[in-house]
Chains A and B, each alone.
Chain A
Amino acid sequence: MSTDGPAGRILIVDDQVSNIRLLEFTLRRAGYVDFASTTEPTEVAALQLENRYDLILLDLQMPGMTGFEVMQQLRNAEGPGRVSILVISADPALRLAALEAGCDGFLSKPFVITELLERVQFFLAKAGVRKSEKPKAPGVEPHSAGELPDP
């Protein structure tokens, strides 16, 4: 992974600290520095308004507020700068519902670390493109059929 610190602000949302730690370790090892985390889904919308993250890694099943509700709040509140949301859920059956709710990507737990990093890179690149106001992402490679244990 890149060592000169890839750009992009990331927020991790998960009610389980072990999962947050795992994502933090993984991102840090990959050279990301600008990330934060919360176990409190109700805070996400406010944090987003304040910090303008480029990517939110969002769990779905959390006590108090589900990831779906978080997405709804975010989508309702956001202006033109639309944040990318990568849902990371332990329930692969929610894939369709999550996409319908407006997430940009879906990854099921447990995940393969290299795949997580590929997705993070992909969404941050997209955010970078939007920031420079190009109409499209040139040179986005077609996805390959990754053979993951994810069904």
Chain B
Amino acid sequence: MTASRRFRTRRSGKPTSAQQASEVRREESLLKTGALQNAILNSANFSSIATDDKGVIQLFNVGAERMLGYAAADVIDKITPADISDPQEVIARAETLSRELGTTIAPGFDALAFKAARGIEDIYELTYIRKDGSRFPAIVSVTALRDDQSSIIGYLLIGTDNSARKRVEETLRWTEESFRLMVESVSDYAIVMLDPEGRVVSWNTGAERIKGFQADEIVGRHFAIFYPRDDVGAEKPQKDLNQAARDGRFEDEGWRVRKNGSLFWANIVVTAIRDQAGNLRGFAKLTRDLTARNKVEAVLTSAKAAAEKANLAKSEFLSSMSHELRSPLNAILGFAQLMESDSPAPTATQSESINQILNAGWYLLELINEILDLAAIESGRLSISLEPVSLNELLLECQSMIEPLAQRRSMRMSFPATGGDFHVHADRTRIKQVLINLLSNAIKYNTVGGSVVVDCSAKASAGRVRITVTDSGPGLPPEKLTQLFQPFNRLGQEATGEEGTGIGLVISKRLVELMDGAIGVESNVGMGSVFWVELRSTAPLTVPAAMETSPPAEAVSTTSAALRTLLYVEDNPANLTLVQRIISRRPDLRMLSAVDGQRGVELARTCLPDVILMDINLPGISGIEAMKILRDDKTTAHIPVLALSANAMARDIQKGMDAGFLRYLTKPIKVGEFMEALNIALEIADKARADVD
């Protein structure tokens, strides 16, 4: 204000009256203008520095004081703005301007005001130096101040502190630079930017490595060059881009071409890049070379195929070995059996020899069977069927099977007293195999005149039942216990002359585990051994209470008074007994039974029963398979067959119905349902018989 007033005062002459009138308007206007200038010049956020025509500071506002640390009095009439600017920058600017304008400009205030003095708008960046010597970046706008005759009377420099913007710019530059360096240095992935038409815009190290082009060879060329000829013919490159543009992202796996024409198997992800308005700016394309992975996969696939082939070959070999061994063994064992029972009877010495042949022969057969068993388990071909099994019955069967061996060895055997019975969830045939294995081991590896004790106990907490086989043998040291369940490890027993394959316990362990059970041993040298098997306990199959109280079912009145025959194919004695009890209330029915699918089919063909009741989980041939045989045989195809199974899954039932069963009943037996199904089956049988008659 002061300065402008002074300028004006210096310029004004003596006014006329007309001039006075206009002077008043101008004053008013100037007052307004002055107020505006006042506001601008006193702004704390801009440094406003006015100089005379030589550059000497005449005005230094509050903003300038704050930014530069000088008081106005420190600088006014004392220095020029060049004195508070970085001298190096002032020199550099003088040189640049000299070159630009083709004249020599001195490094000083001239360098700052030269352009403004010539009416050229001039805004530049420079570094101001504060009174305390610290520096900050500033943006400075320089304007020439002119009098009414357009003569320069001074300069106005308005500056802002540029530090914040500089910091942001620096950060941004650093981020962009880092990102660019990162992209460029990635060598495992080709990262390529494409313009919206598909021309290459940028090219990183990975792209160079994978595709073989240098950046200057490829930038600007269309990316279709990376596709095999057939794909280009099918316009795949454009289709891929279209899809990326439509969906935002496109992923593909396929062959691509290198510079040298060779192919590589690539994974490609193309991402569309759009600006804030949604306009397509181009594509980012990420390519991985999967050729190596593909090779590994190919190697793995072929290794797997080879292993499967080898496994098949092994199975075939074992099967044919089994056949080749069994044939001659049949003659050996057969003739030995004939000699054993010959008349006149063999002498004592001959009998001894014959016994040796028979023992060795049956042992060899056992060996063959165990090896086949183990192979079946290991290849996952062995299937087991779980159902409630009564331990009383199971142990009775085992006892009768093992008794002869125990007697030959003079072994005292003790089985749990019948009474309280446990039922376990098990495969009947396979758990018997396990127990026989444990029992025969307990007898064979015992001391002369020793004992074997079998016991059962509930492990109530876990809902499991434990069967223990305790022998009075020499016991095992800890280091041998760990080897017990390993194949072909006989723990030195091969030297004792005791026969054994060394795989019985291995098979037992696998079988028990297939039944969701556990097997183990506790032993001490000199204290004997305790082998145990734990299985899930389950509810027994019982005659339903309703049936016990109901009066005997009346014989269904039928047109025929003839006794009808029911054939029940079932391997579980508990089920046989149960059905027998139900049937005993039907005087018009008698029951035949078969313990496996083969015998069932044989009996059905021989006896032509009126109705067949078929268990599904049978040893050897399953109920489903037996059903198929019966259906395909015209002599038995007409017989109605009911399925009775512990498999109650919808899938199992459907499988049964597909096989052609009349009804699929699930265990435990519901008497009402069972009787109804039986009556329907008998009606069908009667009708079939009437048709034949």
Contacts and interface: CB of A to CB of B under 8 A. Distances in A.
Contacts of B322: 90-91
B487 interface: no
A142 B592 contact: yes
Given A22-B338, A110-B329, A90 B361 contact: no
A62 to B, nearest CB: 11
Interface in B19-56: none
A82 B608 CA distance: 15
Contacts of A147: 397, 400-401
A26 B373 CA distance: 31
Interface in B237-267: none
A151 B382 CA distance: 13
Nearest to B400: A147
A96 B621 contact: yes
B401 A110 contact: no
A142 B331 CA distance: 30
A82 B605 CA distance: 12
Nearest to B602: A105
Contacts of A104: 602, 605-606
A132 to B, nearest CB: 15
B595 A100 contact: no
Contacts of B603: 140, 142-143
A99 B330 contact: no
Given A104-B606, A108-B326, A140-B607, A25 B337 contact: no
Interface in A109-151: 109-113, 122, 126, 135-137, 140, 142-145, 147, 149, 151
Contacts of B89: none
Contacts of B341: 113
B194 interface: no
B606 to A, nearest CB: 5
Contact of B571 (A122, A135, A145): A145
B208 to A, nearest CB: 62
Contacts of A32: none
A106 B626 CA distance: 14
Given A25-B335, A143-B594, A109 B327 contact: yes
Contacts, number: 106
A19 interface: yes
A29 B362 CA distance: 22
A149 B362 contact: yes
- Chain A CB within 10 Å — which of B334, B397, B620, B628 has the most? B334
A61 B323 CA distance: 9
B369 interface: yes
A142 B334 CA distance: 26
Interface in A1-44: 16, 18-19, 21-22, 25-26, 29
A105 B598 CA distance: 8
Range, interface on chain A: 35 or more
B632 interface: yes
B622 to A, nearest CB: 9
Contact of A110 (B333, B599, B621): B333
B606 A22 contact: no
Given A99-B621, A143-B594, A113 B337 contact: yes
Given A99-B621, A110-B365, A16 B327 contact: yes
B338 A90 contact: no
B331 A19 contact: yes
B646 to A, nearest CB: 19
Nearest to A93: B319
Nearest to A20: B331
A102 B635 CA distance: 11
B561 to A, nearest CB: 16
Contact of A29 (B338, B401, B598): B338
B593 interface: yes
B83 interface: no
A95 interface: yes
A29 B322 CA distance: 29
A137 B331 contact: no
A126 B329 contact: no
Contact of A90 (B327, B571, B593, B606): B327
B338 to A, nearest CB: 6
A112 B330 contact: no
A105 to B, nearest CB: 5
Given A137-B607, A142-B592, A142-B593, A110 B326 contact: yes
B297 interface: no
Given A110-B329, A149-B362, A99 B601 contact: yes
A104 B354 CA distance: 33
Contacts of A95: 598, 620-621
Nearest to A16: B327
Given A91-B319, A91-B323, A110-B333, 9 more contacts: A19-B327, A90-B324, A91-B326, A99-B598, A104-B606, A110-B365, A113-B337, A136-B607, A147-B397
27 contacts: A18-B331, A22-B331, A22-B334, A25-B338, A82-B635, A90-B327, A91-B322, A93-B319, A95-B620, A99-B598, A99-B621, A99-B629, A102-B633, A104-B602, A108-B326, A110-B332, A110-B334, A110-B365, A111-B330, A111-B334, A113-B337, A122-B606, A140-B592, A140-B607, A143-B603, A149-B369, A151-B373
